[in-house]
Amino acid sequence: MSRPPEAIAELIADLQSDDEFARSQAAFALSILGEPAVPMLIELLRNPVRQIRMRAAWTLGAMGGPAVPALLEAAEGPDRALRIEAIRVLGVIGEGRALNQLFTALADPDVSVSSRAARSLGKIGDPRAFHPLITALHHPHPNVRYEAAQSLVMLRQRAAIPALREAATKERGSTSWGARVADAMRRAAAELETIAEEHQQFDLTRLEAMLRQVKEERVNDQ
């Protein structure tokens, strides 16, 4: 679907409107338009008004795949604020092709970039992020260590539990907003234990049901 640039510009203007109905209609239309609307939406991620950035990010997230190439480019660019927003939206879209850029961003010396990358990796939930996030539990900055712990829960891999517990015993830091990182690591390990137990219970229940079915089939065959 294509529209002339003037029509897209009008929708972009509506997206910044004070009228809630106009904003919602513009966001929907832009997300349906796809790739032709991406460059102007990427520009809005630089807007100094947070609400406008959030609307642009939501629209790009709803658009999904067509927005990814431009977001990947922005995630590697020189504009710090744009990088952070692009990394956040890539996490919302959740496509695995963003992993390499997010792994690079996870090692970025800018804490805002690396912590946002850690969070986005958790949202994507790809198991290939397991080892980079385990490594990030030892990042120099507590914000990144905190986000890495949170994201490991989203990967739902029990193998992270020992690393989380070990890191928690040595952790003394707090995030810039005052959260104790050791507590976050212990909570993450506990959540993964619960998830693992639930999976184990589900597997046992399913196995019992299969065994009952086999017995019933044998009885019926006699």
pLDDT tens digits for range 16-50: 988 889 888 988 899 898 888 898 998 888 888 88
Burial of 213 (0-12, 13-18, 19+ CB in 10 A): exposed
- What pLDDT is attached to residue 219? 56
pLDDT at residue 22, rounded to an integer? 87
Tell me which residue has tokens 């203007």.
Answer: 13
* pLDDT given for residue 218 in this prediction: 61
Is 12 in contact with 26 (CB distance < 8 Å)? yes
Alpha carbons 188 and 93: distance in angstroms, whole number = 24
Q: Report, as ranges of residue numbers, the positions in the chain whose pLDDT lies below 50.
A: 1
Q: Where in the chain is the domain with CATH 1.25.10.10?
A: 1-93, 97-222
Q: Which CATH number fits domain 1-93: 3.30.390.30, 1.25.10.10, 3.40.50.10800, 3.50.40.10?
A: 1.25.10.10
97-222: which CATH number, 3.30.43.10, 1.25.10.10, 1.10.630.10, 3.40.630.30? 1.25.10.10
* DSSP3 helix / strand / coil % (the chain, rounded to 5): 80, 0, 20
Residue 70's CB is within 10 A of a number of other CB atoms, namely: 16
